[in-house]
Structure 1
Amino acid sequence: MAKKFFVKRAEVSNEGFRYRGLTSTRLENLTDAIFGFAITLLVIASQVPKTYVELQASMYSFIGFVFCIMLLLGLWNNHNSFFLHYGLQDKITKTLNFLFLFVLLFYVYPLKYLFSYLGTSIYARIMLSLGDNSEALRLVIGDLQGASMDSAQWKDLMIRFGLGLFFMYLFMFLMHLNALKRKVALELSLREVFITKTFIQAFAILIGITIVSMLIVILFGGESAAISGFAYLLVPVLLLTHRSYRNKKMKSLFDD
């Protein structure tokens, strides 16, 4: 009985969605390899420290590196969930997936630059407030001052960052929309159709947030870059609200 329970759990999600992509494909293997390569680029893009002070200074970028990895792993998890749920290998899915990977690789350096700058700035300010006056911190502050950007550059960077996220979320949105159009071929149940629609809605929310963020700097200039960045704090708020709504709706539709 225990064996049957674990098999069932492996084939059906907690929400009752039957997994159709339990077998890994060449397309998924290629995607995993490119995600791994993207993470590698985040590491090798940094210079190898030549002195111990430079090694200490490199630790100040740790926060930015963590945020980069979290974002990439979040994208990977969304991508993995799609293929696990639907297991599609049609031409539209392959084309959208290739476009997704292209943007991902192009997106790595703007992603690293932004998060490295912000993460290092935040950590340096924290250490300064704690009384740190080390040679490593002075080296970091000097690098930050040398990398200081003007208003036009901040505007350009936030637009580049937003466009990268916009297109990757858009491709995931279209992949789920394509899956919904193939609901008959995939034999999706009414519950699975509803869940698919909520996936589409979630990606629409993410796309909307990237648009809002870019519009802020487009309309108000690089001086509003901080506000543009804070717009992404809407992501957990709106997604949690949406998840709460979908869970209540699904319970009322299918569990009564």
Structure 2
Amino acid sequence: MRSALAAAFDHDLRFRWRGEQVTRIENLSDIVFALALGMIVAADGAVGTVGALNAYVVGLVPITGAFATLLAVWNAHFVFFRRYGLADSRIVGLNACLLLIVLFTAYPLRFVYEALYAYVLASFGEMSRAEAMGLDWKGAQTIAAYFGAGYALVYACLAAMYGHASKRTELLVLTPTEHQLTLRALWRYRVAAMLGFAVVPAALLLPRLGAFAGFLTLLVTPIGFILARRFPLPGAAGADYQRSPTPARSV
């Protein structure tokens, strides 16, 4: 009955989670992610006037966008440690790099979404927000370049972590399905990193159009469908999961 209930609420049905115990690495990581998420939401400080309250409510749109973007990174981090339970020195180092990047990019990420929101308002004739932020085309190109660099570094770390896991297939006793899913995730994050790095020169070198270079990262979604065809799953979905041996402890 417990197994049936666990399977019913499992959002990763084709992959047996080997990270049964929450490690100190994950505890530290969750604290850092929570701090970064708090930095995004509370960047303006406490609300003290009605005008500040109105500005805060209007700013919920870019705050939500930045929050969701960082939460997606947290979810990718969470799934990795639940899937593999790895805690060797290489993972510790890569995880530390990822956490540093997350903290460093929290405020800039909020600013990126604030700038995008200001541009949307300006396109409808509301220029006050863009003027207050000092936005112009050159500044927008710089913002896009920073976004691309941060995006690339985050997903380069995740790709390196999945690359390390893919080399531990035998140690982790990955099934053929789990191995293919690992390769899908590895190449998805590699492609995401490459798209992020491509945003930087596109943003800085393309006049006017460079301000929209960050939208290149949206290509990761259709490329994900291509990767699904490139790394097909063997047999029926979930079949290998049912045949998985006793879960391994953290390695």
**Deviations for 1:73-128, whole angstroms, at most 9, x for unmatched residues?**
100000000000000000000000000000110011110111012224435766x6
Q: Which amino acid aligns with 2:76?
A: N
Q: 1:107 to 1:25 in 2, by over 3 A?
A: same
Does the 8 A contact of 2:148 with 2:214 survive in 1?
no
Q: Say which of 227, 240, 254 aligns to 2:212.
A: 227
Bigger share in helix: 1
The change in CA–CA distance for 1:185 and 1:117 in structure 2 (over 3 A counts) is same
Aligned to 2:154: 168
- Check conservation: 2:166, 2:179, Cα contact below 8 A: yes
**Please, which runs of 5 or more residues in structure 1 have no aligned partner?**
129-136
Judge conservation of contact 2:159–2:186 (CA < 8 Å) in 1: yes
Gaps in structure 2 of 5+ consecutive residues: 238-251
Change (3 A) 1:229 1:13: closer
Q: Distance in 1 between matches of 2:70 and 2:149?
A: 15
Give the structure 2 partner of residue 191 of structure 1.
Answer: 177
Q: Can you list the C-alpha shifts for 1:161-207, whole angstroms capped at 9, x where unaligned?
A: 11111111001001011011111211122222111111111112211
> Residue 68 of structure 1 contacts residue 111 of structure 1 at CA under 8 Å; is this kept in 2?
yes
Partner of residue 214 from structure 1, selected from 184, 195, 200: 200
Q: Considering only aligned residues, what root-mean-square deviation do their CA atoms show, in Å? A: 2.4
Higher relative contact order (CA 8 A, sep 6+): 2
The SS at the match of 1:116 is helix
**1:147 has 2:145 as partner:** no
Distance 1:11 1:168, change over 3 A: same
Q: 1:95 to 1:63 in 2, by over 3 A?
A: same
Quote the Cα distance in structure 2 between the aligned partners of 1:120 and 1:110.
15
Give the whole-Å Cα distance in 2 for the aligned partners of 1:225 and 1:110: 18
Matches for 1:1-256 after TM superposition, within 5 Å: 2-8=1-7, 13-15=12-14, 17-123=15-121, 141-221=127-207, 223-243=208-228, 245=229, 249-250=232-233, 253-255=234-236
Pair 200,53 (structure 1): closer, same or farther in 2 beyond 3 Å: same
Q: Is the 8 A contact 1:206 1:235 kept in 2?
A: yes
Query: Are residues 23 and 123 of structure 1, via their aligned partners in 2, closer, same or farther at CA, if it must alter by over 3 Å?
Result: farther
| TM-score, length of structure 1 as denominator length | 0.83
Query: How many equivalent residue pairs?
Result: 237
d(CA) in 2 for partners of 1:3 and 1:109? Answer: 43
- Does the 8 Å contact 1:60/1:120 carry over to 2? no
The structural deviation recorded for 1:12 is 9.2
Partner of 1:134: none
- Contact 2:62 2:113 (C-alpha < 8 Å) held by counterparts: yes
Check the 8 A contact 1:180/1:193 in 2, yes or no: yes
Q: Quote the residue 1:131 is aligned against.
A: none
Q: CA deviation at 1:215?
A: 2.6
CA–CA distance in 1 between the matches of 2:123 and 2:2? 53
Do the aligned partners of residues 242 and 184 (structure 1) sit closer, same or farther apart at CA in structure 2, a change above 3 Å counting? closer
Compute the displacement of 1:9 (Å).
Answer: 5.5
- Tell me by how many angstroms 1:49 deviates: 3.4
Amino acid at match of 1:213: V
Secondary structure at 2:22 match in 1? coil
Alpha-carbon shift at residue 231 of structure 1 (Å): 1.6
Go from structure 1 to structure 2 and tell me whether the alpha carbon gap of 1:49 and 1:196 turns closer, same or farther (over 3 Å shift).
same
* Structure 1 runs, 4 residues or longer, greater than 6 Å off: none
SS in 2 for 1:254: coil
Query: How far, CA to CA, are the matches of 1:203 and 1:211 in structure 2?
Result: 12
| Paired residue secondary structure (2:115) | helix
